[in-house]
């Protein structure tokens, strides 16, 4: 199946799950607990996540836990040439919605990629091997080409699709947490 069609299917599955908030919240709790009990999380001092759209995994759970544990929490800003920069966020950080509806931090300090211990990579569709299809901008694919730290994704079982051809430029995340 082609990526554009899989992306549509993945978005439909995420929106279906969003319409079942009790199930979605239960899955988020299971996935979060698995992550919080994992060495990837326990050893990380600096964690990069995204601010979710309504139908995506609620990463606010990670923000709260990270701050409680004294971790530096980062969120991306998408810039020119389809590049991501990551910025330190606190409870005081203000956010502004982009033209794509994504909330990005405003006036938050940039943190170099080398300082990120754990990058939580978003996606719409995943294989069990950690290959992913995102929104199609290629921002994370470009970032992952040079990123050396640990990577994981928080995945609903509804996002798993094995029937697509991984391409030479596709990079997998190291670990999936699935419910």
**What is the per-residue pLDDT for 126?**
96
pLDDT along the chain (179 residues), means of 10: 89 97 98 98 98 94 98 94 93 91 93 97 96 90 93 97 86 96
**Is 70 one of the annotated binding-site residues?**
no
Give the model's pLDDT for residue 95.
Answer: 95
The pLDDT score that the predictor gives to residue 1 is: 62
Known binder of ligand: residue 101? no
Nearest to 126 by CA among 152, 101, 100: 152
2: its two tokens: 């082609």
Q: Is 48 annotated as contributing to ligand binding? A: no
4: annotated binding-site residue?
Answer: yes
**How many other C-beta atoms are found inside a 10 Å radius of the C-beta of residue 30?**
13
Residue 66, annotated as binding a ligand: no
The annotation status of 138 as a binding-site residue, yes or no, is yes
Q: What local confidence, expressed as pLDDT, does residue 135 receive?
A: 87
pLDDT value, residue 169? 80
In CATH, what number does 3-178 get?
3.40.50.10420
Residue 127: partners with Cβ closer than 8 Å, 6 or more residues away: 160, 161, 162, 164, 166, 172
Q: Known binder of ligand: residue 100?
A: no
Q: Is 149 annotated as a binding residue?
A: no
0.85 surpassed by pTM: yes
């Amino acid at each position: 199946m082609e990526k554009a069609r899989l992306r549509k299917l993945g978005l439909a599955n995420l929106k279906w799950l969003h319409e079942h908030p009790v199930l979605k919240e239960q899955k988020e709790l299971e996935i979060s607990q698995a992550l919080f009990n994992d060495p990837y999380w326990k050893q990380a001092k600096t964690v990069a996540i995204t601010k979710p759209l309504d139908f995506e995994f609620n990463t606010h759970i990670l923000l709260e836990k990270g701050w409680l544990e004294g971790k530096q929490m980062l969120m991306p800003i998408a810039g020119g040439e389809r590049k991501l920069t990551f910025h330190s966020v606190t409870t005081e950080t203000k956010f502004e919605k982009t033209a794509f509806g994504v909330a990005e931090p405003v006036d938050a300090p940039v943190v170099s990629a080398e300082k990120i211990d754990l990058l939580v990579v978003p996606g719409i569709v995943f294989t069990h091997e950690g290959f992913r299809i995102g929104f199609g901008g290629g921002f994370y694919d470009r970032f992952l080409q040079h990123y050396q730290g640990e990577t994981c994704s928080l995945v609903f079982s509804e996002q798993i699709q094995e029937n697509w051809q991984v391409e030479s430029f596709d990079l997998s995340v190291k670990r999936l947490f699935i419910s």
